[in-house]
Amino acid sequence: MPHDNASLIRVAAQEGSELGVDDARALFAAILAGEVAPHELEQILAASERRRASLAELTGFMRALDAHSSRLEVPHGGPRPILLPAYHGTRRQANLTALVALLLQRYQVPVLVHGIDGEAGLNNPGRRRVEEGVSDRDFAAPDGPTGHRVTTADVLCELGIEPATSLADAQSRLRHGKVAYAPVALLAPGLGRLFAPPTQDSLPTIAHSLALLIDPFAGDGYRVIGAPSAVDLAAMREFLLASRTDALLFLGTEGEPYADPRRQTRFEHVAAGVVTSCADAEGEGIEREPSLPASSDAPTTAAWIANVLAGTEPVPPPLIMQLGCCLAGARRQGAAA
């Protein structure tokens, strides 16, 4: 690792300090390339738990990540591909990210779901709590355990959709109109390593924030970002506006990219540096309690999703609204400026 990056590490690990865009890019490029020693990386990740990255730092980090990410081709002759970053899993209610993906597939929209392959530390008791400001009552599942997180990968596997084994595999699935699930290690190997450092027992905040913004379609994909908290929502909005990135932004369910099926959600389209409302939250609840899985485990959730797709269970109204917003975003022409 170049000697002049040592000072950047000290700044990044120090509270009350802030890196500029170019310095942040240089430092994160070194991290992604594996040029930062493990103990120094621990200091940086620990600092990212104590303070959130500034707009300048996030911009620099993303420039480095873009340069170290894999690329996929946009399928020709159809809607823009939808990206569903699924990195949290759910603990208190059924994980319905797979339902959103499969509903979009029915409209011939290319869908790339990406996240952590398997549990990858999601059920570690030391993991950072992401539902900031949300009570346990708000996320209570009927019969589901509260200590075990069910990932989107878990649910997709129950539905017969295994993780892609290579970029060519993911590309083929997209080309043939299938939902593709890509582990983060496939799309951004350097970033993937940050989700499971051998001595780190919590999810690195900055790694998660950056993972939400991955776009292997070089700006032609439409990101669907379910922010894990109101603070994260504001930070994501600031970055998307500054970078003129296209996305659907809303407060996700336990950090997963689907709307809470039991309450109205405000959805924001962000495009070309402008935010417009796709759907507004009109109240805390919805008119009638929706039918939901009896338990939050992956097999029960997958069976319920299969029933929804077969028409024997209704789609919860907030997810219908999300589907409409996603389809509107997929129809937009061109990439972010």
Q: Tokens for 275, please give them.
A: 């935010």
Say whether both 152 and 236 belong to one domain: yes
Asked if 207 and 62 count as a contact pair (C-beta separation under 8 A), the reply is no
Residue 85: count of CB within 10 angstroms of its CB: 28
Instruction: Please check the confidence at residue 19 and state whether its pLDDT lies above 50.
Output: yes
Which of the pair, 293 or 16, is modelled with greater confidence? 293
**Domain C-terminal end among 67, 93, 114:** 67
pLDDT at residue 287, as a whole number: 61
Say whether both 42 and 169 belong to one domain: no
Say whether both 203 and 308 belong to one domain: yes
pLDDT at residue 125, as a whole number: 31
Instruction: Please check the confidence at residue 4 and state whether its pLDDT lies above 80.
Output: no
Say whether both 175 and 241 belong to one domain: yes
Instruction: Please check the confidence at residue 117 and state whether its pLDDT lies above 70.
Output: no
CA 201 to chain CA centroid, Å, is: 20
282 phi/psi in degrees, rounded to 5: -100, -5
Band of residue 277 on the pLDDT scale cut at 50, 70, 90? very high
Say whether both 87 and 134 belong to one domain: yes
pLDDT at residue 8, as a whole number: 73
- Torsional sign, CA 184, 251, 90, 256: negative
Helix, strand or coil, per DSSP, at residue 26: helix
pLDDT at residue 121, as a whole number: 37
Domain count, the chain: 2
Instruction: Please check the confidence at residue 144 and state whether its pLDDT lies above 80.
Output: no
Asked if 222 and 278 count as a contact pair (C-beta separation under 8 A), the reply is no
Say whether both 93 and 42 belong to one domain: no
Q: What is the DSSP string of 160-180?
A: T-PPPSSHHHHHHHHHTT--E
Q: For residue range 26-51, what is the model confidence (pLDDT) as tens digits?
A: 999 999 999 888 888 887 777 777 77
Total-model pTM: 0.86
Q: For residue range 303-333, what is the model confidence (pLDDT) as tens digits?
A: 999 999 999 999 999 999 999 999 999 985 5
- Measure the CA–CA gap between 78 and 67, rounded to whole angstroms: 27
Q: Average pLDDT for residues 184-191, to the nearest whole number?
A: 94
257 within domain boundaries: yes
320 within domain boundaries: yes
Distances (CA, A) of 225 to 2, 8, 36, 250: 35, 30, 29, 7
Helix, strand or coil, per DSSP, at residue 274: strand
Q: What is the overall mean pLDDT for the chain? A: 84
Say whether both 325 and 196 belong to one domain: yes
Instruction: Please check the confidence at residue 2 and state whether its pLDDT lies above 70.
Output: no
pLDDT at residue 333, as a whole number: 53
- Torsional sign, CA 260, 143, 231, 84: negative
| Surface-to-core class of residue 50, CB atoms within 10 Å of its CB (0-12 exposed, 13-18 middle, 19+ buried) | exposed
Say whether both 30 and 135 belong to one domain: no
73 within domain boundaries: no
Cβ-Cβ contacts under 8 Å for 299 (sequence gap 6 or more): 158
- The CATH number of the domain holding residue 272 is 3.40.1030.10
Instruction: Please check the confidence at residue 74 and state whether its pLDDT lies above 90.
Output: yes
Instruction: Compute the half-sphere exposure of residue 233: CA atoms within 13 Å on the CB side of its CA.
Output: 24
Per cent of the chain over pLDDT 90 is 64
Structural domain for 20, as ranges: 3-67
Say whether both 123 and 16 belong to one domain: no
Band of residue 176 on the pLDDT scale cut at 50, 70, 90? very high
- The CATH number of the domain holding residue 22 is 1.20.970.10
124 within domain boundaries: yes
Asked if 82 and 329 count as a contact pair (C-beta separation under 8 A), the reply is yes
Q: Residue 276 forms beta bridges with which residues?
A: 269
